[in-house]
Amino acid sequence: AVHVVESGGGSVQPGGSLKLSCVASGDTVSAYCMMWFRQVPGQERAKVARIDSAGTEYIDAVKGRFTISTDNTKNTLYLQMDNLRPDDTAMYYCAADNWGCPGVNSDGSPYGYWGQGTQVTVAS
């Protein structure tokens, strides 16, 4: 099993940038489907981006602004977020799975291996 810990969140003005990191231990990220999710109060966790052996995928709302990547030498997942907008404000979670990809069940409970989250706030 893999253990993941996120960092890099914070407060930034609209148009600014942040880079989230997710350090993995216990296994290698290259063997997993790695994803970033985000959640705002009162809503379910929603996927933001995915990276695995098949490539990368983004939701439409972040295409062209966010970049997901991994550094296998550091066993770390990243999310570079540029041109941030107020509606990007959320708790951001790193998640991994090696039996398919991590996700959220219909009752809102997550499956896979998840971190504790890091808060991103975009405001003037």
Res 27: pLDDT: 87
Percent of the chain with pLDDT over 90: 93
Res 33: pLDDT: 95
Q: Is the pLDDT of residue 57 over 90?
A: yes
pLDDT, the chain, mean:
96
Tell me, rounded to whole angstroms, the distance of Cα 18 from its chain centroid. Answer: 12
Res 29: pLDDT: 87
Res 28: pLDDT: 87
Residue environment code for 52-72, b if the CB has 16+ CB neighbours within 10 A, otherwise e: beeeeebeeebeeebbbebee
Tell me the pLDDT tens digit for each residue of 9-20: 999 999 999 999
Res 38: pLDDT: 98
Tell me the pLDDT tens digit for each residue of 69-105: 999 999 999 999 999 999 999 999 999 999 999 999 9
Over residues 32-43, mean pLDDT: 95
- From the list 25, 5, 27, 21, the residue with the least C-alpha distance to 99 is 27
Res 31: pLDDT: 87
